[in-house]
Amino acid sequence: MVEDHFDNPDAIRKRFRTELGRMVGRQGIPSPNELAQQAKKSKNCVVSTLRDTGKKHDAETVYARARRGVVIMGGISRCKGGRGWHIACAGGFVIHKDGVIVSNVHVLDAFRKTEAIGVMTDDGQVFPIQSVLAADRYNDVAVLKVEADNLTPLPIAPSVPVGATVYCISHPALNCAGTENAFYTFTNGMVSGRFHLQFDGKTPLDVLVITADYAKGSSGGPILNAHGAVVGIACETLGIADEDAGCQLTWKFVRPASSILPLLQGERSTK
């Protein structure tokens, strides 16, 4: 059977923007800045997650099943002149049906000056973020809570070898300004490296490098194995250029699941 559904990015953005606009100033919802402040504190939580089933699926099945557990994160700010809202979007994914979601700390930082932030599920439900349950700024991972009890969680696999097939579901920007997104874009590739790398003079990090494409707007998107389990989270890209030949390679850096799972075991106290 031929798939005849085409997503309408403009309609998705409009709905998300409208619903977030209704949350501005609502009592009981932390401000974006308050959430960013919560993420500055290194802490853990206790969350049970689904295990990798070990059953391999074709790409179509991986996408169809995983899409329901992928969310759009968004932050709105006033347009110039004070009329209407501008929305910026990123990604995230559900790890527990009761509203536990994973994204990046840098996404919260990017949205801290907005008027309201929240998440939108594949079926159009929009929720404000109620709290940051756990955060690891070092690994750029944040565990968030929304008030929901019917979400579709994705399983998590503790590791993935070099050469393994991986997929990414994310919301890359369609233009340089980031005012349009190709929501729920699906790309595939493989794990091309597992490295202990030093970024900007900081303490070295464990990272995966993958060939599945993603770009601006994709932060927080899940990286999935052939079983549909999360093996990492999209974080950043780095273009490698040659003075004469121009850009020769774009590294896709992923924080592995091994940087997510320790946050869910409640072993560290809040600093």
Q: What residues are annotated to the active site?
A: 106, 140, 219
- b/e burial code for range 145-168 (CB count within 10 A of at least 16 → b): bbebeebbbbbbbeebeeeebbbb
Which residues are bridge partners to 135 per DSSP? 43, 142
Q: Answer whether 160's CB lies under 8 Å from 210's CB.
A: no
Closest CA to 154 of 72, 100, 96, 221: 96
**d(C-alpha 144, C-alpha 167), whole Å:** 23
Matching residue, tokens 């070295």: 204
The DSSP string of 93-112 is EEEETTTEEEE-HHHHHHTT
